[in-house]
């Protein structure tokens, strides 16, 4: 894997579904203007996934909530934390059983959408692959495309 040189410190996000690396960057809010080096490798061969994307972020470490968002669009992703050119920590993301506050229920009459209601959205995991989530309050289901659109599209709630 010498397509992109090794990074000294930072994070390598591996096993991203092919073609989805830019979605991952967007979810992390990384535009390329931050000043640190970003390497995106797309559609490389993978024993496990046939084709995959990889993102390398020099000097960047994701927060727990970032990992949760990554899991929604790249449920197979592995996060490698690099220090001094070595992988010091490797972990798989895990799609949480309950997702609170991150997504918006598409049902306009859902109680989680009522203005002034101190209830944040709450989705329950129905299936991980393909991704299906169900609103805890009204039962509306959303799929992978809705989730990507919400996380990436500027659709602020």
Query: Minimal distance in Å, beta carbon 106 to Zn ion?
Result: 8
Query: Minimal distance in Å, beta carbon 123 to Zn ion?
Result: 8
Give dist(CA 63, CA 4) in Å, integer.
24
Query: Minimal distance in Å, beta carbon 40 to Zn ion?
Result: 35
Q: Is 110 within any annotated ligand binding site? A: yes
Q: Is 114 within any annotated ligand binding site? A: no
Nearer residue to Zn ion within complex by CB, 60 or 123 = 123
Question: How many C-beta atoms lie closer than 10 Å to residue 108's C-beta?
Answer: 7
Query: Minimal distance in Å, beta carbon 95 to Zn ion?
Result: 19
Q: Which residues of this chain interact with Zn ion, rule CB under 5 A?
A: 105, 107, 110, 135, 137-138, 140
Chain mean position to CA 4: 22
* CA distances to 14, 76, 129, 152 from 62, in Å: 14, 16, 23, 17
Nearer residue to Zn ion within complex by CB, 78 or 140 = 140
Query: 3-state SS of the chain: helix, strand, coil percent to 5?
Result: 20, 35, 45
Q: Is 102 within any annotated ligand binding site? A: no
Length of the chain: 157
Per the CB < 8 A criterion, the answer to whether 82 and 4 are in contact is: no
Per the CB < 8 A criterion, the answer to whether 79 and 60 are in contact is: no
Nearer residue to Zn ion within complex by CB, 43 or 120 = 120
Q: Is 98 within any annotated ligand binding site? A: no
Q: Which residues sit in the known binding site for Zn(2+)? A: 105, 110, 135, 138
Q: Which residues sit in the known binding site? A: 105, 110, 135, 138
């Amino acid at each position: 894997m010498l397509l992109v040189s090794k990074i000294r410190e930072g994070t390598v996000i591996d096993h991203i579904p092919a073609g989805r690396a830019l979605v991952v960057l967007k979810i992390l809010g990384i535009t390329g203007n931050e000043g640190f080096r970003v390497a995106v490798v797309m559609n490389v061969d993978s024993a496990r996934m046939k084709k995959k994307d990889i993102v390398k972020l020099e000097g960047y470490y994701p927060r727990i909530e970032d990992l949760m968002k990554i899991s929604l669009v790249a449920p197979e992703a592995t996060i490698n934390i690099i220090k001094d050119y070595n992988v010091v920590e490797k972990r798989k993301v895990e799609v949480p059983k309950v997702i609170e506050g991150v997504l918006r229920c598409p049902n306009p009459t859902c109680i989680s959408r009522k203005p002034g209601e101190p209830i944040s959205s709450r989705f329950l995991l129905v299936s991980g692959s393909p991704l299906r989530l169900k609103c805890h309050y009204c039962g509306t289901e959303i799929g992978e495309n809705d989730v990507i659109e919400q996380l990436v599209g500027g659709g602020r709630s």
